[in-house]
Structure 1
């Protein structure tokens, strides 16, 4: 791995469990958009393991240089040139069969979370699937003490960030025409939320 590329140990730890859940649910999908591709480790790994699927990485403009390096280093035909995407501004320029986003909702400001769902819905084909991976709160409670500590850390760094409440997320998704189909347990006190576009 090139030393100039950013590296996330969390991505290395969770990429196989995530793939295990994505693979059977993406058998019919041809094009997927990843929102908030971060280091690009997920995109490179999933594109290699899902060769029939075009995996489109995206992120804010500031993160594109290293994502382009990752994409060029990977050299896969199903990992096209990365694109800029800001959920607060992007609406439906391209349509995809599926969208994936990992560990993004607790990083972005709370005001951007409704935009995230509107953005995702606008980029999905009818009956498209949205996958969201990360830690969440349920009825105001944390699923583990480590998640509580992580939430406190996030809010100490940025009061607008933090773990999101599941009831709030499902309401925002409903408003964007997305219905929660599955809430899957994942390692390290994370979840995989699977939404289907209903309109």
Structure 2
């Protein structure tokens, strides 16, 4: 009887894109998170980024989060890595409540004191969500962030209403065919949401494969 292959035995969720983009993302994160203590990742997906970034930046505490359906897979990555700075992933979802108006993201137990996270990071999520969910995410950020905390978003963005590459235009078409609510977001519209929540853009970094890293900072007041 043949033994199962290592690939067959490994049931953890896996995204090839996480392996491709993790090094350039890490280079930017290390510059901005050198003195940071607590980071919240929104939309941790498979959990690969959480493990890679937490291992590379052992001075910080990396809190993974996602929809409840993704938590078991994230837990597999965290458990296998066994890092001291990755607590169990928490359920966190950018959704709009039944009552009129945008409802903020639920406050995780870690920020119940009101101190908030020193940084919030999200990768490849804004173009997957519906625009109402993107609005809800930004509406909820003040409840999650400490004064002067950073919000860092990675992914493709349009500028001045135009795609930055043919590949991004094709990707946008694929996204909309799969879910008409999704699509590459206009930088100006996203920045307006950030500004409305008291965030100021600190850096816009060009990344491989026509992606960007946007870094905002929450202002005191």
1:49 alignment partner, one of 50, 56, 71: 56
Aligned-CA RMSD value: 1.2
Q: Is the 8 A contact 1:121 1:178 kept in 2?
A: no
* Cα offset, 1:121, TM superposition: 2.7
TM-score scaled by structure 1? 0.96
Q: Is the 8 A contact 1:181 1:194 kept in 2?
A: yes
Aligned: 1:34 with 2:41: yes
1:64 alignment partner, one of 71, 81, 84: 71
TM-score scaled by structure 2? 0.87
CA distance, structure 2, for counterparts of residue 84 and residue 120 of structure 1: 15
Partner of 1:197: 218
Partner of 1:24: 31
Mapping 1:141-180, distance limit 5 Å: 141-180=162-201
Aligned: 1:126 with 2:147: yes
User: How many pairs align?
Assistant: 199
SS at the partner of 1:172?
Answer: helix
Alpha-carbon distance change, 41 to 61 in structure 1, aligned in 2, over 3 angstroms:
same
Mapping 1:73-152, distance limit 5 Å: 73-88=80-95, 90-93=105-108, 94=111, 95-152=116-173
Residue by residue over 1:56-96, the C-alpha shift from the partner in whole angstroms, topping out at 9 and shown as x without a partner, is 00000111111111111110010111100012252444110
Find the structure with the greater CA-based Rg: 2
CA distance, structure 2, for counterparts of residue 147 and residue 5 of structure 1: 29
Q: What stretches of structure 1 move > 6 A for 4+ residues in a row?
A: none
Mapping 1:4-15, distance limit 5 Å: 4-15=11-22
Give ranges in structure 2 of 5+ residues lacking alignment. Answer: 1-6, 96-103
